[in-house]
């Protein structure tokens, strides 16, 4: 609070100093109409002087000199010399104070200040520079870990792939590359990496979590359940969430045989519990259901934004039967 007031006061002071030339008293300036009059008088005097003689000519000349002198006063004032340094100093001070005010006193989201974000970016860049310079596995790992923590996944992938080139047996790198592949939507390759990694280091909980997610996505419930149970054994942190996942997978594995449960487990999220539609189009009363071969094709291959849903032949039969009754 004190800092806010302090910076605010300094900021206003700086602003005042910077603006003072604009606010100050105006330069004295003669009133314009007189000037025109004097110029006209001068013209007349010039003509008269031509025609006049003796004393009168002298008097007219004297008047001309007087008028000229008066006109002198109306010359536009010489521009004040521009002194850049004081202005630059004051402006600099204002900018600095403004930045200070903005940086230290504006309210921010908890834990998410731009300051820490900038620090993190700088830290990450330093780690990346060092890793690229030395090419040492340790440095690459340090970079990859920090990038992964900060969710800079492109950099994490770059770092861990580089580790794998140097040390193909590095389990952490194999596991993280697997996770990154999975997150990048490449489950086939991800599975290869994750299975190798978890075989080599079954203590690494995060690998089990993602492997379970992967199996679940592929519809391999028993394997998903096994992987998530290993996650819990390894002491993974997201205990409650994973227990719920296991319960869901168990329900799906058991009820997987009748069409309704298959539908609820694999289709309802997008097409609605009663087939009323949602992310995906309405299925209830949809003429496409009269063509089971088309539905089979769509389910197994996916279509447009609908992903392929791998099902066993048994599940598919049950599902098609259920859809026919919708
Ligand atoms: C992730 C969401 C999602 C899931 C899960 C999903 N669908 Fe779809 N489905 C869609 C979307 C989106 C479309 C529209 C695709 C397009 O044509 O671009 C669609 C289209 C369809 C169509 C074609 C409808 C028409 O009128 O053309 C059928 C049939 C269908 N889905 C059946 C199923 C079945 C059966 C399941 C479960 C095994 C399922 N979907 C699971 C999202 C999903």
From atom 37 of ligand 1, which residue's Cα is the shortest distance away?
Answer: 267
Rg for the chain (alpha carbons), in Å?
Answer: 42
Q: What is the pTM of this model?
A: 0.44
Work out the number of other CB atoms within 10 angstroms of the CB of residue 114: 12
Please state the domain extents for the chain.
Answer: 114-255, 259-324
pLDDT given for residue 23 in this prediction: 56
Q: Is residue 299 within 6 Å of ligand 1 at its C-beta?
A: yes
SS3 of 303, please? strand
The predicted-structure confidence for 219-278, as pLDDT tens digits, reads as follows 898 999 999 999 999 999 998 889 878 877 887 777 656 888 888 888 988 898 889 998
Q: Is residue 298 within 6 Å of ligand 1 at its C-beta?
A: yes
Flag whether pLDDT at 111 surpasses 80: no
CATH for 259-324 (1.10.340.30, 1.20.1250.20, 1.10.760.10, 3.40.50.150) = 1.10.760.10
pLDDT given for residue 62 in this prediction: 85
Closest CA relative to residue 279, chosen from 289, 287, 267:
267
pLDDT given for residue 32 in this prediction: 56
Q: Is residue 179 within 6 Å of ligand 1 at its C-beta?
A: no
Find the mean pLDDT for residues 84-93.
81
pLDDT band at 140 (very low <50, low <70, confident <90, very high): very high
The predicted-structure confidence for 283-313, as pLDDT tens digits, reads as follows 999 999 988 999 999 999 999 999 999 998 8
- Write the secondary structure of 228-271 as one string of H (helix), E (strand) and C (coil): HHHHHHCCCCCHHHHHHHHHHHHHHHHHCCCHHHHHHHHCHHHH
The predicted-structure confidence for 142-183, as pLDDT tens digits, reads as follows 999 999 999 999 999 999 999 999 999 999 999 999 999 999
CATH code of 114-255, in short, is: 1.25.40.10
Contact criterion met (CB below 8 Å) for 10 and 97: yes
pLDDT band at 213 (very low <50, low <70, confident <90, very high): very high
Find the mean pLDDT for residues 199-209.
95
pLDDT given for residue 41 in this prediction: 85
Mutate to test the pocket of ligand 1, among 262, 263, 281 (most ligand atoms within 8 A of CB): 281
């Amino acid at each position: 609070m004190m800092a806010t007031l302090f910076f605010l006061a300094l900021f206003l002071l700086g602003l005042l100093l910077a603006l003072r030339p604009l606010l100050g008293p105006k330069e004295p300036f003669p009133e314009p109409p007189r000037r025109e009059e004097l110029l006209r008088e001068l013209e007349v005097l010039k003509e008269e002087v031509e025609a006049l003689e003796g004393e009168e000519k002298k008097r007219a000349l004297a008047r001309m000199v007087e008028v000229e002198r008066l006109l002198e006063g109306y010359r536009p004032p010489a521009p004040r010399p521009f002194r850049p340094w004081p202005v630059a100093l004051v402006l600099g001070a204002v900018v600095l104070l403004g930045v200070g005010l903005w940086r230290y006193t504006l309210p921010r989201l908890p834990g998410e200040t731009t300051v820490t974000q900038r620090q993190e970016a700088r830290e990450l860049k330093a780690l990346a520079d060092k890793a690229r310079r030395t090419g040492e596995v340790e440095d690459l790992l340090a970079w990859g870990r920090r990038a992964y923590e900060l969710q800079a996944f492109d950099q994490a992938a770059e770092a861990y792939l580089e580790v794998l080139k140097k040390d193909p047996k590095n389990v952490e790198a194999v596991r993280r590359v697997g996770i990154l592949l999975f997150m990048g939507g490449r489950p086939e390759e991800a599975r290869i990496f994750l299975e190798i990694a978890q075989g080599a280091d079954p203590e690494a909980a995060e690998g089990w979590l993602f492997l379970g997610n992967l199996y679940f996505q592929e519809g391999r419930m028993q394997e998903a359940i096994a992987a998530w149970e290993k996650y819990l054994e390894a002491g993974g942190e997201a205990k409650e969430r994973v227990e719920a996942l296991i319960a869901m997978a168990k329900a799906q594995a058991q009820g997987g045989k009748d069409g309704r449960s298959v539908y609820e487990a694999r289709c309802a999220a997008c097409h609605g519990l009663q087939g009323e539609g949602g992310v995906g189009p309405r299925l209830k009363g949809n003429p496409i259901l009269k063509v089971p071969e088309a539905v089979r094709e769509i389910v197994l291959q996916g279509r447009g934004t609908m992903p392929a849903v791998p099902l066993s032949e048994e599940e598919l039969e049950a599902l098609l039967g259920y859809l026919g009754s919708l």
